[in-house]
Chains A and B, each alone.
Chain A
Amino acid sequence: MKKLTLILCFLLGGFAVQAQVKTVAIKTSAICEMCKATLEKDLTFEKGVKSVNLDLETKVLNIAYLDSKTSPDVLRKRVTMVGYHADSLKRDPKAYAKLDECCKDGAHDNDPPKKKKDGN
């Protein structure tokens, strides 16, 4: 049992850091579920990030972070390194080139109307 409590402490220890949690909203160029997953996954593992959620409708990435460990500028920079625009910052072209085809510009222009607001 002693080992068990130890493991539990180890687990909880990760969350017990005392610092202020702030949120930031970053407008991105994400266009599909794959983009959402790629961005959310990458930012989940970014230092200081507590939670990540991308709203595909608005393309806004909402991040809760610890202001003692990171800043909105660092997070925006990271988004560009994943291959997406972040507010006024341009995406990193190399990272963009590596994205899955379905995340490239125009990949979803022909999608059925329920997904996109195409005129026809």
Chain B
Amino acid sequence: MKTLFTLLILVTPFFVMGQNTVKGTVKSNSKEALIGATIQVAGKSNGAVTGTDGKFQLENVSADELLIVSYIGYKTDTISPAFDSEMKIILYERDEAMKEVLIRGRSESVVDEAPFLSILITEAELQKAACCNLSESFETNASVDVSYADAVTGTKMLQMMGLDGRYVLISREGIPNIRGLNSRQGLTYVPGTWIQSIDVGKGAGTVINGYESMTGQINVDLFKPETMDKWYLNAYLNSFGRLELNANHQIPISEKWSSGILFHASQINSEIDRNDDGFMDLPKSRQINLLNRYKYEGDRLMAQIGINLFLADNAGGQLGFGFKDNLTSSDQFGYELDTRKAEVFGKIGMIYPNKPTQSWGLQYTLSYQDFEGGAGRRLYSGIEKTAYTNFIYQNIIGSSFHQYKAGASFLYDDFEESFDTNTPNGLDSTFLRTEKVPGIFFEYNFIPNENITIVAGARTDFHNLFGTYFTPRIHARWAFSPNLTLRASVGKGYRTPNALMENSMIWVSSREILFNAALQPEISWNSGMSLASNFTIAEKPLSIVADYFYTNFQSQLVYDQDVSSELLIIDNLQGKSFAKSFQLEASYPVARNLDMKAAYKNYQNLMTTNGILQQVPYQSQDRFFLNMAYATNFDKWKADMTINWNGAMRLPDTSDSPIDFRLPTESPDFYLVNAQVSRGFRWGSIYIGGENILNFKQDNPIVDASNPFGPNFDASMTWGPIAGRVIYTGFRYKIN
């Protein structure tokens, strides 16, 4: 790959010694002129930026100097200058470099030039674990952990740095997407086959996308009209009876307009109860999901508009509870969640042909989503209406060493929720909240040379309910040598918790719920450092990344199960809460076709519950991760295996329960093993795989499962997998 395809094509090299002027054009591998690409003389302060048609001119260059050509999203190239004729420089797209004819590239890697510690997960990496949606897209990634919400709803939750995924801003192409009432379930509404790539950023994110990226930012890029296959069909079936059909279709309209459709339909109709507790291990479900996007690409103006519609139903709980059964009148303990969403989203952007460094863009989304459901006798309904827009202006100050982005955003978020425990003294409330948050931001990038980047940003948001949020963030990157990069970041973050939807503890247990305080925003400071290094051992690249992050909560909504096994106390943090996370990750191609990646993670997450500063429950302090990836040329055969070891987790204090219902103070440690084999063809591929191959299950995940309406019932004390092993198979078919 590397040297061969990053090759530059320069015309007739009559090298003239001495100082001279270099002229040329920079184009992409798809022959489009790149406007705003930077050309810099290595080690010097002079540089140039390409203008209209990708043209540039650079004075005072000597023949023995090197030019560094870079453009966002493309591989940086270093080349010798050519003087007497125009240079023609071709840059290759980073994640799609030689997309169709890729021999074998590393499919997941730290983005070298990024000021943030950022890991790009490409389509090839995503295909290593074929199931099913965004919550399952991180199986081969060491930075994101997946945990199990409870023993009824089948929800998998993300964790980063050992903290709940709700502290990570999950955006879709830069627009905050999985948040609000969707923050727990929303991952399951992003089908895996729609995802082109995922960028996992650790540490407080950029201020441009808002104040909610408290511990990190995960940005998901879906297939866009111009990068889609004409047809991409996928069918998937697993041993739980989950059947999925996915179809992506590209519709070229005219030279400037294009369109793409993403479609997903899935269902689980069978009832799985492998642990014989009378409860379905995961609910039955059905989902239909459609996204259609139109894109306009003019000479100066670029615009896109898309619509996303979905319908999803879940029915779980005790065996026999169906989609149409009524929770309150049924004899069974049922679980239901029906949701519908309609969203319109888009972007408009403008570039200036005579001022190539200048551009502006406007992102927007408008959505309506409702939820109807509950568990047992506890009933929930919620409606969220969101409008969000973000305007970003980008320019340089004097030279490309000083770049800035500035802009303004507005968030309108309207919540209408009701929750009724249907018990005489229990919670029965309606929660109404409307957030209106105008904000402004400024982010300055100082890039004195290719080895140093400093990003200093701040935003001020005027929250109608909680006052002014001031969010400063700073990121720095320093490449000591080509093989050693140090990064550091500090940043503040905020978010509004949504207690009823964020945490299924409220739903699936008989614990009495005590809301102790008025709603407050969660506020944290996150700081961290990382060191990424590359070595060559036996002529092969060994990459080692070590990172350490510290998150300190000034304010947090705490779900306290420690006071009593009969109570769930939801209160603002009284005392301290912080998380220290350390990760050491190494990857190395052990053989010609075999890559290996290993990671050790240590989380010290302490939070004050029951008045004591103690380890956050359901969270391993130590984790080990090992991934082995085997592939023959052009992925004709591919085999992958991932082993996760989860250390013991603290469990909530249940010492006041009847003796039969007490839990140990700690969970056992356990292994999870996933593996997949796929065979490629000219038309696509077929795959077969298994998750949780060792068939590990949490023993008795539901306390007093036989008496779900009794006082001891609790399905929320979950630390491990519920359903055990699943085997799956499927195919992918592409037509171009």
Q: Chain B residues near A1 (CB, 8 Å)?
A: 694
Subset of 23 A-B contacts with CB under 8 Å: A1-B694, A3-B727, A7-B688, A14-B679, A33-B4, A33-B5, A33-B7, A34-B98, A34-B101, A37-B98, A37-B102, A37-B103, A38-B101, A40-B634, A42-B682, A44-B634, A44-B636, A45-B636, A45-B682, A101-B31, A111-B9, A112-B9, A120-B12
Q: A52: shortest Cβ distance to chain B, in Å?
A: 8
Minimal Cβ-Cβ distance residue in B for A51: B633
Task: Choose from B100, B675, B680 the contact partner of A45 (Cβ within 8 Å).
Answer: B680
Q: B569: shortest Cβ distance to chain A, in Å?
A: 43
Q: Given that A110-B11, A112-B10, A120-B12 are known contacts, is A44 also in contact with B639, CB under 8 Å in the complex? A: no
Task: Choose from B675, B694, B725 the contact partner of A7 (Cβ within 8 Å).
Answer: B675
Q: Chain A residues near B12 (CB, 8 Å)?
A: 110, 120
Task: Choose from A4, A42, A101 the contact partner of B675 (Cβ within 8 Å).
Answer: A4
Q: Is B283 an interface residue (CB 8 A)?
A: no
Q: B433: shortest Cβ distance to chain A, in Å?
A: 48
Identify the 4 closest CB pairs spanning chains A and B, nearest first. Answer: A37-B101, A45-B682, A41-B634, A33-B4
Q: Chain A residues near B633 (CB, 8 Å)?
A: 40, 44, 51-52
**B681 touching A10, Cβ below 8 Å:** no
**A4 touching B682, Cβ below 8 Å:** no
Q: B4: shortest Cβ distance to chain A, in Å?
A: 5
Q: Chain A residues near B102 (CB, 8 Å)?
A: 37
Q: Chain B residues near A17 (CB, 8 Å)?
A: none
Q: Chain A residues near B710 (CB, 8 Å)?
A: none
Q: A98: shortest Cβ distance to chain B, in Å?
A: 10
Which residues of B in the span 666-689 have a Cβ within 8 Å of any Cβ on A? 675, 677, 679-682, 688
Q: Chain B residues near A52 (CB, 8 Å)?
A: 633
Chain B contact residues: helix, strand, loop or mixed: mixed
Q: Is B344 an interface residue (CB 8 A)?
A: no
**B637 touching A14, Cβ below 8 Å:** yes
Minimal Cβ-Cβ distance residue in A for B690: A3
Docked pose: A40 CA to B635 CA in angstroms: 12
CB-defined interface of B2-17 with A at 8 Å, one 1/0 digit per residue? 0011010111110000
Q: Is A74 an interface residue (CB 8 A)?
A: no
CB-defined interface of B290-321 with A at 8 Å, one 1/0 digit per residue? 00000000000000000000000000000000
Which residues of A in the span 1-52 have a Cβ within 8 Å of any Cβ on B? 1, 3-4, 7, 10-11, 14, 33-34, 37-38, 40-42, 44-45, 51-52
Q: Is B251 an interface residue (CB 8 A)?
A: no
Q: Counting chain A CB atoms within 10 Å of each CB, which of B102, B103, B694 scores highest?
A: B103
Q: Given that A41-B634, A45-B680, A120-B12 are known contacts, is A11 also in contact with B639, CB under 8 Å in the complex? A: yes
Docked pose: A3 CA to B633 CA in angstroms: 26
Docked pose: A42 CA to B682 CA in angstroms: 7
Minimal Cβ-Cβ distance residue in B for A44: B634
Given contacts A4-B675, A10-B688, A37-B102, 13 further A-B contacts (CB under 8 A): A1-B694, A3-B690, A3-B725, A7-B639, A14-B637, A33-B4, A37-B98, A40-B634, A42-B682, A44-B633, A44-B634, A112-B9, A112-B10
Q: Is A106 an interface residue (CB 8 A)?
A: no
Which residues of A in the span 84-120 have a Cβ within 8 Å of any Cβ on B? 101, 110-113, 120
Q: B91: shortest Cβ distance to chain A, in Å?
A: 14
**B677 touching A10, Cβ below 8 Å:** yes
Minimal Cβ-Cβ distance residue in B for A37: B101
Q: Chain A residues near B675 (CB, 8 Å)?
A: 4, 7
Q: Chain A residues near B31 (CB, 8 Å)?
A: 101
Q: Is B531 an interface residue (CB 8 A)?
A: no
**A45 touching B639, Cβ below 8 Å:** no
Q: B89: shortest Cβ distance to chain A, in Å?
A: 12
Minimal Cβ-Cβ distance residue in A for B638: A11
Q: Is B235 an interface residue (CB 8 A)?
A: no
Q: B29: shortest Cβ distance to chain A, in Å?
A: 9
Docked pose: A7 CA to B633 CA in angstroms: 20
Minimal Cβ-Cβ distance residue in B for A120: B12
Docked pose: A120 CA to B11 CA in angstroms: 12
Minimal Cβ-Cβ distance residue in B for A98: B736
Which residues of A in the span 32-90 have a Cβ within 8 Å of any Cβ on B? 33-34, 37-38, 40-42, 44-45, 51-52
CB-defined interface of B94-118 with A at 8 Å, one 1/0 digit per residue? 0000101111000000000000000
Q: Given that A44-B633, A44-B634, A45-B681 are known contacts, is A3 also in contact with B693, CB under 8 Å in the complex? A: yes
Q: Given that A11-B677, A111-B9 are known contacts, is A41 also in contact with B101, CB under 8 Å in the complex? A: yes
Q: Chain B residues near A111 (CB, 8 Å)?
A: 9
Minimal Cβ-Cβ distance residue in B for A42: B682
Q: Chain B residues near A3 (CB, 8 Å)?
A: 690, 693, 725, 727
Q: A24: shortest Cβ distance to chain B, in Å?
A: 18
Docked pose: A3 CA to B494 CA in angstroms: 46
Which residues of B in the span 711-726 have a Cβ within 8 Å of any Cβ on A? 725
Docked pose: A45 CA to B100 CA in angstroms: 14
Task: Choose from B681, B688, B693 the contact partner of A4 (Cβ within 8 Å).
Answer: B693
Q: Chain A residues near B680 (CB, 8 Å)?
A: 45
**B13 touching A113, Cβ below 8 Å:** yes
Docked pose: A90 CA to B10 CA in angstroms: 31
Q: Chain A residues near B681 (CB, 8 Å)?
A: 45
Q: B403: shortest Cβ distance to chain A, in Å?
A: 32
Q: B693: shortest Cβ distance to chain A, in Å?
A: 6
Minimal Cβ-Cβ distance residue in A for B102: A37
Q: B581: shortest Cβ distance to chain A, in Å?
A: 32
Docked pose: A112 CA to B679 CA in angstroms: 39
